[in-house]
Amino acid sequence: MSSSAPAAGIFDRTASTRSVELTAVSKEFTLGRKRDSFRALDGFDMAVDQGEFVAILGPSGCGKSTVLRMIAGLETPTSGTVRVEGGPPSALIEQHRLGVAFQDSALLPWASAWENVALPFRLAGRPVPAERVRRLLETVGLTGFDKARPRQLSGGMKQRISIARSMALDPDVLLLDEPFGALDAVTRRRLNLELGGVWAAQRTTTVLVTHDVPEAVLLADRVVVMTGRPGSCAHIETVDKARPRGEEFTRTPEFHRTVDRLTSMLDNSETR
């Protein structure tokens, strides 16, 4: 494993390969009736290549989820630019080429697993390809659960459906915001390994926000470490390990050294 230089090192790549690019992004929020404001992000830079998996780590309140929400078109920067597949996020959203899965699986409680995965096709006004839905459920290990309602499923199973749904339309970009944050450690570890296998087969450009350092090192090609609020890029770690990555990878000295190094960076982060 190797690490690159902070900030500037992100852009040592050919522009034509970039799928996601945030340049000098700052974000301020207004609070309360007094219209007080605080700066969540300050000069944040990040680029993600096509087919790359990038994880974002940072201390609580540093703006990790704000970054993801801007890529998803749910927030706009106060200054700077956000480009996804060469244009504004809204263009990708209108074309249904952006997939998102959040910590809350947000499944329709009255709908079956099959119907929840089929939902993006209905929202896009497209026919539902039954074989595609079946294969997605199979991919996330839920063959045989197509008729189950969310209340009949465990938290891990619901998150698998959420991830399958986010991939339904074969998106160009997949955004994951703490998708396993509410799960127990054993389930989370198992789903990390399963997601890594799914991603290795699909190679969808992916941005993951997480506070779990081992999760980031296991899944990502590069890990972006943010400073405390206002968030900016403090460090970029390249995880130079071939895929698929199994549990044996998490027992290697290289894995543990990387986890320890990134954990130390987070422990030493301070709000500026």
- 167 CB-near residues (< 8 Å, 6+ apart): 99, 136, 174, 202, 204
- Look at residues 113, 140, 170 and tell me which one is the last residue of a structural domain: 170
| Domain tally, the chain | 2
Residues 12 and 110 in one domain: no
Residues 125 and 255 in one domain: no
116-144: pLDDT as tens digits:
999 999 999 999 999 999 988 988 888 99
| Interval 66-70 mean pLDDT | 94
Residues 9 and 80 in one domain: yes
> Range with the lowest mean pLDDT among 16-20, 139-143, 248-252?
16-20
Q: Contacts for 247-251 with beta carbons within 8 Å, 24 or more apart?
A: 247/193, 249/218, 250/214, 250/218
Domain hosting 119: range is 104-170
- Look at residues 142, 170, 198 and tell me which one is the last residue of a structural domain: 170
Using DSSP bridges, classify how beta strands 98-102 and 173-177 pair: parallel, antiparallel or unpaired. Answer: parallel
138-181: pLDDT as tens digits:
888 889 999 999 999 988 889 889 988 988 888 899 999 988 87
Q: Does some domain include residue 148?
A: yes
| Interval 214-243 mean pLDDT | 92
- Look at residues 120, 145, 170 and tell me which one is the last residue of a structural domain: 170
| Interval 7-17 mean pLDDT | 45
Q: Please tell me the predicted confidence (pLDDT) of residue 234.
A: 92
Q: Please tell me the predicted confidence (pLDDT) of residue 32.
A: 67
Residues 115 and 228 in one domain: no
pLDDT band at 223 (very low <50, low <70, confident <90, very high): very high
Q: What CATH number is attached to the domain comprising 210?
A: 3.40.50.300
Residues 255 and 128 in one domain: no
Cα separation of 153 and 156, whole Å? 8
